[in-house]
Structure 1
């Protein structure tokens, strides 16, 4: 028993950061240069408030469409697809801007994306004026096409 302490090595070493070892964090090297910060000034801006209104009203819209009793018309499927897709894209864009990822995505041509948004607004305005024209004809597309 007297020789036991002389045979034990008590060397210490720094732990090796091997990503493959049991319990190691393999993503530590990938996330070393990533910092996530919320842009609280964005939340108080008018675009953010409008996006939040879009997210809430879009969620309500596709929830109401999904709970509609009449599914006989095939247009409900298209409206549901558009509503859910745009709701997801708006939510994703809100999160990208909120956490500042758009400044890290330099490969996205943001000016072209702005023109895409302008084109979308133009399509929306065109659809609105088409709706007003349709309402002006009492909702009947064939009312003005007959012989006078």
Structure 2
């Protein structure tokens, strides 16, 4: 047999594009580990997506009309857009697992308080919306406002359901172990 060296030294090189591709693949892997994909399939996430979608429809219907004829619609628009933006922010905080990075924040309580307050504020915006539907002369504007009142009520119910789900989650997580044990 021919003498074969005991140590072989080989070097390989790759073009720059392959190195960039592997960096991007590594970045994509890091991003997917940050995103909590199980959150998207949970009931609270589905309720938040419903709140976001129906909230957009709600304020979109009002914005498509001459809502400035009634001063109360300024309040309705403020509530609808503000809660819509805050819900989107809260959704992404949950999606990217912000609770891991900010452990000092009592997330369960904060989410429950947010949804409870949002329910109350949305009801306070829905009522004037529903009461003033007939104050517009045009029937098409009245139909827009009636549809906006309907979607406002549905969004308020969705926020209420989220508040209840948050309360049940808080009660399940924050229970006192001393009160739940029974001596035998």
TM tier, smaller: 0.5 to 0.7
> Contact conserved, 2:79 with 2:121, CA < 8 A, in 1?
no
1:105 aligned onto 2:102? yes
In structure 2, the gaps of 5 or more residues are 1-29, 132-184
1:57 aligned onto 2:74? no
1:91 aligned onto 2:76? no
- Bigger proportion of residues as helix: 2
User: 2:62 and 2:50 mapped to 1: Cα distance?
Assistant: 18
User: 1:44 and 1:111 mapped to 2: Cα distance?
Assistant: 18
User: 1:118 and 1:83 mapped to 2: Cα distance?
Assistant: 14
In structure 1, the gaps of 5 or more residues are 1-34, 136-148
- Equivalent residue for 1:78? 75
1:38 aligned onto 2:46? no
1:25-80 CA deviation, whole Å, 9 max, x = no partner?
Answer: xxxxxxxxxx6421111111111111101000011111111112342111111110
TM-score normalised over the length of structure 2: 0.44
Q: 1:118 to 1:97 in 2, by over 3 A?
A: closer
Aligned residue runs from structure 1 range 3-18, under 5 A: none
User: 1:41 and 1:53 mapped to 2: Cα distance?
Assistant: 17
**May I ask how many residue pairs the two structures share in their alignment?**
95
Residue 69 of structure 2 aligns to a residue whose secondary structure is coil
Q: Which of the residues 113, 118, 121 maps onto 1:116?
A: 113
1:90-111 CA deviation, whole Å, 9 max, x = no partner?
Answer: 0000001011112211232325
Q: 1:115 to 1:49 in 2, by over 3 A?
A: closer
By relative contact order (CA 8 Å, sep 6+), the higher-ranking structure is 2
User: 1:49 and 1:120 mapped to 2: Cα distance?
Assistant: 19
Bigger Rg, which one: 1
After TM superposition, the runs of 4+ consecutive aligned structure 1 residues lying more than 4 A away are none
